[in-house]
Amino acid sequence: MEKLRVKTGSRNEMVDITDKVSLMVKKMGIMDGILHLFVPHTTCGLAVNENADPSVKADISGKLCGLVPEAGGYNHFEGNSDSHIKAALTGSCLSLFVEEGVLLLGRWQGIFLCEFDGPREREVWLKSVRQGDKPF
């Protein structure tokens, strides 16, 4: 398992981690298989979406805050229930394809860590399952 460190800059923010993940595919030496991503946190999520126009990630983040406002009559004593709810909606894991040593994404796709309770330093865990791995 490998770990990426991701620094987020505001309470709600989608941080593009595509380049970091692609570099890790090289570093891990994955040629063909599935790359699993997982965030070990309860107030951030993972998503695949457009990273060409930066207003897309702002619109996604903004609309999630509109649907799940910070002040919502919640019971959790820490006051960040909205963060937990948005994390449940986006999800904590992704399974991505790798072939010929390259992370396969659609033309407009990037990978995002969705911060809902920043700014913080976050971790993204990566683990691969490879075609043709030697058994041991």
Binding site for a second copy (CB under 8 A): 1, 33-34, 36, 38-42, 47-50, 53, 55-56, 58-60, 62-64, 67-68, 72, 74-78, 81, 84-85, 87-97, 99, 104-109, 114, 125, 127, 129, 131-136
Beta carbons of 21 and 37 less than 8 angstroms apart: yes
Contacts of 51 (CB under 8 A, 6+ apart): 16, 18, 57, 108, 109, 110, 112
Q: Quote the CA–CA distance of 12 and 118 in Å, as a whole number.
A: 6
Residue 29's SS3 state is coil
CB closer to a second copy, 69 vs 119: 69
Question: Least distance from C-beta 12 to a second copy, angstroms?
Answer: 13
Question: Least distance from C-beta 62 to a second copy, angstroms?
Answer: 8
Question: Least distance from C-beta 50 to a second copy, angstroms?
Answer: 4
Q: Quote the CA–CA distance of 46 and 115 in Å, as a whole number.
A: 9
- The two most distant CA atoms of the chain are separated, in Å, by 54
Question: Least distance from C-beta 51 to a second copy, angstroms?
Answer: 9
Question: Least distance from C-beta 45 to a second copy, angstroms?
Answer: 9
Q: Quote the CA–CA distance of 132 and 136 in Å, as a whole number.
A: 12
CB closer to a second copy, 11 vs 46: 46
